[in-house]
Structures are given as C-alpha cells and as structure tokens.
C-alpha cells in the first residue's frame, strides 16, 4: 500500500509577554492584559482556529513541544497556496491575530475582545518539499505602541513547524449495507484492498463471533425493527477472503422512554473486534462505539469511541466524541491534538504505545483517522483516511474500516422510530 503525501503544520510553544509596564499598554489603548488572552489562527482555505495564549514573565520560555493548533495539508492545498493570488493578496500566509479577553459574556454583559497585534508568515516553496522544517521559533514583537515611537505592545513566542504526515486513503465503493468493496485511492488508481460483508440476521452456527453475538434476535426481523435495531454485523475480508476485522451491535438501538429516538441516556453500542493472534478461531475486542441522537433545531448523531485497553483502569480509553449532522452527515475523527483543542473541558489522552493502536511504534498524539459519511437517506460511501504511522500491515487498516462501517451504519440506526397504532395497544 502506497500512502498519499500530507503535511502537518503545527503551531505551538505559545506565550505572550509585555515589555515595560502594564501602564504603557494601557496608554496605547489596550485597557489591560489579563490571563485571558487568545489568538485566532488563520490559513487560506481552512476554518480559523482559536486558542488561548498564556501570559509569561520575561525570564520564562514556553514549553517547546506543546502544540496549540494543527493544520493538515494535501499536495493540492499547498499548490493552491503557492499559486499567484489576486492583486491585494498575492501570497497566502499563516496569520495569527492576538487578542486580550475572549468572546463571550459575563453576568449577561457582552465581553469585547481587543486586538493586540498580528504575526504573519508567508507560504513558501519549502512547504511543498515534504521535509521536516521549522519555519519560525522564538520571540517576535507584535502591535505598535503609539506612545513610544512604534515599539511593540507585546512580544509573542511561538514555534511553527512542518512535518510530513503521509496517509492511506480508502473508500467504500457503495453503501455499507450493500456489502461493497473497499478500495485504496492512489491518484487516479483505485486498488481493491478489502471487501465488506453486512448482515442483519441471526449468527450462523460455527461463526467464531457467536461468543459475542446476542442470542435474542427475534425470528421476525421486520417486526423487531419497528421497536429496536439489533443483529447488525459487518465483517471486513482481505483479498484472500479471510475475515480480518468485524463490528457488530452489542447494545440494541431502541427508543428511550417517552420519545421515539435513541437518546444519550441509553445509547446503542457496537463492539469492534479483530482476530486473536493466538487463535484464528477467536476474536479479540479492540474498541467500542456508542451512538445516540441529539435533538434540537438541527438533529445530530453523536458517536463516542472508546479504545479497549487492558493497560487502562477500567479497560476503556476515550479517544473521540463527535457530533455528526443527521441531515448532512459529517466527519468522524480520532485526532488527539484536535480533540484537546475542541474539547478542552474534557481533554482526551494521547495514545502512548503500540498497545493502544494496533502494532505501532510509540507516538505522541496527532491525527489517527478520519471517516466522512453522508446524512440520513443519502447514499453514503465512507471515505477513510489513516495516518501511515498507525498502519504496519493490511490487518491494521482493516480494524479502522470496521470502525468506519459502524460509524456509517449508526446514522441509520439512530433514525427516529415511528409509532404505529393498533387496536387496543401501541406498537413501534
């Protein structure tokens, strides 16, 4: 399997210090510097990212390996940025705008941010060379102090680095329920790698998955479907026909009390398994995916993934919790840097060893996988990207295909149930 070229642009080691006295900053129109400074990081073609910037003393240097923000760029992204632009923006650039305060309210009163200054770094040819390179590392003055002949209002410390981050890209050739082939995308070539077999019936005798499989599947599936969704199974086979990964529902998707949808209080769940290395006739649990519906102006499907690790207390390691638009679909991902940034209130630990994701070398965070799916009632052909460093063999990729299939099928499993009235009683 040949990977596609991606690069990771990381911005970290952030810190802000104010030379001189606080009063100088006040004279310049910046009312006060407090612990709530933030920055908006902008790069053409990507959504802006907002992160906090800690205030540091003049003698302190921020942690050199901390990552505040990351962008992942394909070759086409870099080419677009290096192409000549319009007359007022001839070059794409990385722009970091620093503010005092943060957007929001306090005691019902809106808080207004004030801009301190801006750091800009032009996109250059080195961005497309596919080599590790530090674009900037150190302190730089930002803003202008009108009271002191244009001296900087503050100094920003940051480290901007490019690293190659190749990925394998796969796509399901048809809807998951239609048992499609899974191909690897390599430029204009689509190389078959796996096949996907979906079923929703009682497990057959002799199936090794029988040890995990629910034995309570009703004989009339259509009748059961009206009030619960269970018995769904997906097997991933390699080109020789051997099953190399699987996903199946362990907790049925059922409507919660008083409503007709799968609620957070009682989510449905999938178990993701892989063949036991010691026995070809048995399977080893690898992960658990829970899913439910969040109701609102727009409905969302929440997918929460735990890695099952014996090294963790309780055996479960939360790796991702993503909201997908029920109508339009979206992107499920495992990216520890992005999760830490987007869900700072409940930070997710990074995988630390080969026991966490397949048979891997030790890694520290970053992108692991992404899966793009369509919304309800649409033909979904999941597109999956995997970081090359997390795949040492074909079987490693297969387990992520099983997870992607479970995410895709969860969109349908979380559809609202329809109530049907019958004589004398109600039936789902």
Q: Provide the mean pLDDT of the chain.
A: 80
State yes or no: pLDDT of 26 exceeds 50: no
- Tell me the domain boundaries of the chain: 7-164, 167-413
Phi-psi region of 224 (alpha: psi -120 to 50; beta: other; left: phi over 0): alpha
Q: Specify whether the CB–CB gap between 24 and 39 falls below 8 A.
A: no
Please report the pLDDT score of residue 200 as a whole number: 86
* Neighbouring-strand partners of residue 237: 195, 243
Q: How far apart are CA 61 and CA 159, in angstroms?
A: 11
Please report the pLDDT score of residue 409 as a whole number: 96
Q: What is the pLDDT of residues 151-205, one digit of tens each?
A: 788 999 999 999 999 999 999 999 999 999 999 998 788 999 999 999 986 544 4
State yes or no: pLDDT of 149 exceeds 80: no
State yes or no: pLDDT of 412 exceeds 50: yes
The CATH number given to 7-164 is 2.60.40.150
Q: How far apart are CA 150 and CA 136, in angstroms?
A: 23
Least confident of 86-90, 268-272, 276-280: 86-90
State yes or no: pLDDT of 269 exceeds 90: yes
Of the pLDDT bands very low, low, confident and very high (cuts 50, 70, 90), residue 352 is very low
Handedness of CA 63, 69, 74, 77 (dihedral sign): negative
Give the C-alpha distances (Å, rounded to integers) separating 415 from 199, 213, 214.
Answer: 19, 23, 22
How many residues comprise the chain? 428
Q: What is the pLDDT of residues 325-344, one digit of tens each?
A: 999 999 999 987 776 655 54
Structure tokens at 73: 């760029």
Q: What is the pLDDT of residues 39-88, one digit of tens each?
A: 999 998 898 999 989 888 777 788 877 888 899 999 889 988 888 765 55
Q: Which residues of 269-298 are buried (b: 16+ CB within 10 A; e: fewer)?
A: bbbbbbbeeeeeeebeebbbbbbbbbeeee
Q: What is the pLDDT of residues 229-251, one digit of tens each?
A: 899 999 999 999 999 999 999 99
Q: Phi, psi at residue 329, to the nearest 5°?
A: 85, -160
Please report the pLDDT score of residue 189 as a whole number: 86
Q: How far apart are CA 400 and CA 360, in angstroms?
A: 14
């Amino acid at each position: 399997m040949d990977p596609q070229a991606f690069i990771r642009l990381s911005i970290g080691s952030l810190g802000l210090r104010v030379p001189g006295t606080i009063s100088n900053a006040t004279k310049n129109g910046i009312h006060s510097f407090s612990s709530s400074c933030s920055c908006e990081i902008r790069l053409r073609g990507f959504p802006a990212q907002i992160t906090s910037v800690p205030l540091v003393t003049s003698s302190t240097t921020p942690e050199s390996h901390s990552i505040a923000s990351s962008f992942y760029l394909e070759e086409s992204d870099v080419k677009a940025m290096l192409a000549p632009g319009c007359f007022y923006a001839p070059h794409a650039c990385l722009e970091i705008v620093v503010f005092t305060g943060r957007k929001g309210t306090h005691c019902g009163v809106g808080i207004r941010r004030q801009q301190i200054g801006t750091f800009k770094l032009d996109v250059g040819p080195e961005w497309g060379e596919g080599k590790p390179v530090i674009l900037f590392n150190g302190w730089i003055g930002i803003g202008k102090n009108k009271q002191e002949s244009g001296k900087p209002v503050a100094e920003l410390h940051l480290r901007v680095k490019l690293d190659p981050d190749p990925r394998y890209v796969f796509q399901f050739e048809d809807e998951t329920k239609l048992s499609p082939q899974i191909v690897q995308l390599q430029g204009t070539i689509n190389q078959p790698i796996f096949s996907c077999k979906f079923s929703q019936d009682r497990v057959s005798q002799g199936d090794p998955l029988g040890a995990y499989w629910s034995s309570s599947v009703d004989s009339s599936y259509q009748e059961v479907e009206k009030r619960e969704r269970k018995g769904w199974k997906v097997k991933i086979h390699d080109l020789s026909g051997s099953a190399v990964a699987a996903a199946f529902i362990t907790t049925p998707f059922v409507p919660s009390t008083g409503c007709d949808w799968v609620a957070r209080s009682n989510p449905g769940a999938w178990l993701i398994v892989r063949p036991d290395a010691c026995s070809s006739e048995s399977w080893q649990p690898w992960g658990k995916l829970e899913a439910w519906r969040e109701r609102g102006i727009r409905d969302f499907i929440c997918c929460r993934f735990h890695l099952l690790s014996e090294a963790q207390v309780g055996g479960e390691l939360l790796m991702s919790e993503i909201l997908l638009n029920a109508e339009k679909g979206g992107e499920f991902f495992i990216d520890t840097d992005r999760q830490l940034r987007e869900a700072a209130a409940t930070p997710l630990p990074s995988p630390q060893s080969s026991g966490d994701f397949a048979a891997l070398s030790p890694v520290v965070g970053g992108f692991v996988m992404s899966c793009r799916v369509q919304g309800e009632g649409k033909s979904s052909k999941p597109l999956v990207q995997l970081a090359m460093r997390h795949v040492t063999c074909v079987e490693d990729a297969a387990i992520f295909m099983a997870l992607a299939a479970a995410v895709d099928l969860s969109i349908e499993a979380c559809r609202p149930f329809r109530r049907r009235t019958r004589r004398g009683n109600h039936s789902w």
